[in-house]
Amino acid sequence: MHMYKDGNCLVIAEGRFQTRIEPWGPDSLRVRAFSQLPADPNDWALTEKMPDPEAVISFEETDTTDPWYKGPEYAKYHRTGIQGTLSNGRITARVSTEGWISFYNEKGHLLTQEYWRTRDRINRYCCSLRITGRELKPIPGVDDYELTARFEAFEDEKIFGMGQYQEKNLDKKGEILELSHRNSQSSVPFYVSSRGYGFLWNNPGIGTVSFGRNRTEWHMPSTRKMDYYITAGDTPAMIEEHYSLATGRTPMMPEYGMGYWQCKLRYRTQDELLKVAREYKKRGLPLDAIVVDFFHWTRQGDFRFEPRDWPDPEAMVKELKSLGVETVVSVWPTVDEKSVNHAEMEEKGMLVTADRGAQNTMTWMGNTEFFDATSPDAQHFVWEQCRQNYYAKGIRCFWLDEAEPEYGPYDYDNYRYSKGPVMQCGNIYPVGYAKGFYDGLRAAGEKEIMSLVRCAWAGSQKYAVLTWSGDIYSSFRSMREQLQAGLSMGMAGIPWWTSDIGGFLGGNIQDPDFRELLVRWFEWGAFCPVFRMHGERSPWYEKEEEFIGDVRQITSGQDNEVWSFGEDNYRILTKYLFLREKLRPYIRTLMQAAHDTGAPVMRPLFYDFPEDQKAWETEDCYMFGPDLLVAPVMEKGALNRSVYLPAGTRWTDAHTGRTFEGGQTITADAPLDVIPLFYREGRDPGLA
């Protein structure tokens, strides 16, 4: 093994195996390892141009002689080795004589280091296990590799981010996470550590990560290289700012995104949707967006309105605009084998292919294949259909559903994109899906862009992605899981996030228990980045089967408007509609900060109070921007709840006006119409 300087890189070379460490923006480094040249050129999430680096690289000869040889025969057994160092602002990488890497901040504190169990005598890691920090094992017969990267575990470390997983823990320490997308799961492999660094696993392949007590281990069954990014910062805010600079910042949110969105399983016709929008305005209720959801088309892959049920969408959009309501239209990536576009897309290689068996990748409501969102040609083709059939009629906001995509089944090893096998690049799909619409809208002259997308990966945010948490169940447990999902997405660099208020699956609108859940979720939704009602709502309307041609028409769920759940609840829901409107100026500042610095809109308490150890341990409430603490009620029948108020400021209860010293846990009253809210003393965001 030998080390050398190559321009601005520190290179560790051993035969064909080469590791390159280089500066990548302020206080940040990128580390890549590969076993064949030319190296895989994909930058994946790290596509942004970085400022010119100011790396300092040095090498030092070190005595590596075993201590027990330092006797009379010292000269006979004397050995030396080279250690390397690369510094970039607040972060330094040190490379041992055996080639393993440690990362330090500007104060000399260890951030993290590779897990290395061999005979590195100078660092006293004398061990016969022969386990290394990075392994690229060739897969026989092909030029692909199995990758394992290992890092030391630290008892005091907490890990936040990694995207959206349907489980209860905000701190991911001790967890095993699948690095893949599913309906309601978004793998966004960036985390912020309580030790003062951020880490991006810059590989969109399918794999796993284990944040174990004995070591952290990233594993990819099939890939071409190892690639990660690490950044140091004095605060979580600084880390997020560095990371968003490297992967791209979200645009400024359009004004309609900050208000209230009305949606249900499916508005069946143009008249039905217009009646709902008119009713909101008749009642004097705020409404910023309404959604034309799935199966408004004839066949999947037609990318256009079914003319029988939607006879004049241009007039519909025009009327909604006059009411101050944005029209949002659902697009699916599925292309039915009988679609008007299938033959051309298949002939031109624009569809996802299967390596074995039937080419159909989903069979719900038709035999369909997904379009290949990693292909620029396919991106352009799909956008062109939507430009002609939606954009030309006034549609400016799209709901990009099924964005994982939702394979049935999730046999990742069977599918292939133009970018490569899904095992090697599958998690990039939602990025390409959103990029196609973002590029198309920009080319059409749009400056305010927003797409509601059911999945995201690192870098999705720069394509104006609003991610939601998928088809989740209607229960308090699910609501609790969405809280950590939203906070985790924010810490992973995706600042625009929402969930289906009330949950998607289930939820009988006549059931008192569901009505309680919906009210609690609606109250919380008013303090999420986007405030959006959705859900299938049971029981479905049961009508005799209906067809247009040979295509069965999907039914619709029960009513899902704010007046659908009883008069008492209606009064509560409208209270929060108007409260959201009062907060709009404050929310506008949060969206500007997300655009300028990458700051999450909703974030854990420690983001704004990093010196408070208790804030790092609190998972059941959060900050909505820097001034407002939100404590959702997430238990059936609860009429109060405990709330931790971070130290360093006084807090005012937005409902009672009482003021409390920070650094204590209080019990807050929470009758059905109250979500506990506290703002920093003297910094009311608009609740008074």
CA-to-CA distance for 200 and 309, rounded, in angstroms? 46
650-682 burial, b if ≥16 CB within 10 A, otherwise e? ebbbbbeeeebebbeebebebebebbbbbbbee
* Strands 640-645, 664-669: pairing kind: antiparallel
Known active-site residue 40: no
Check if the beta carbon of residue 30 is closer than 8 Å to that of residue 24.
yes
What are the backbone dihedrals phi and psi of residue 244, each rounded to the nearest 5 degrees, phi first? -70, -25
Known active-site residue 404: yes
Both structure tokens of 217: 């281990």
Fill in the amino acid letter for 47. T
Catalytic residue among 401, 402, 581, 653: 401
Q: What is the DSSP letter of 252?
A: P
Residues with Cβ within 8 Å of 335's Cβ and at least 6 positions away in sequence, in order, are 300, 301, 341, 342, 345, 351, 368, 369, 370, 371
User: Helical H runs in 309-390?
Assistant: 313-322, 342-347, 376-389
Catalytic residue among 402, 404, 481, 581: 404
Both structure tokens of 568: 């008492």
Known active-site residue 471: yes
Cα 5 from chain centroid (whole Å) = 36
CA-to-CA distance for 382 and 303, rounded, in angstroms? 8
3-class DSSP state of 566: coil
- 448 CB-contact burial (10 Å; exposed 0-12 / middle 13-18 / buried 19+): middle
Catalytic residue among 234, 471, 511, 635: 471
Check if the beta carbon of residue 248 is closer than 8 Å to that of residue 597.
no
**Tokens 């979200």 belong to which residue?**
250
The DSSP H or E segment spanning 483 is: helix 476-491
- 531 CB-contact burial (10 Å; exposed 0-12 / middle 13-18 / buried 19+): buried
Check if the beta carbon of residue 68 is closer than 8 Å to that of residue 6.
no
- For every residue of 595-617, DSSP letters joined together read HHH---SEE-HHHH-TT-HHHHH
User: Helical H runs in 492-598?
Assistant: 512-525, 567-597
What are the backbone dihedrals phi and psi of residue 91, each rounded to the nearest 5 degrees, phi first? -125, 140
- For every residue of 486-514, DSSP letters joined together read HHHHHHTT---EE--BT-SB--BTT-HHH
Residues known to be catalytic:
401, 404, 471
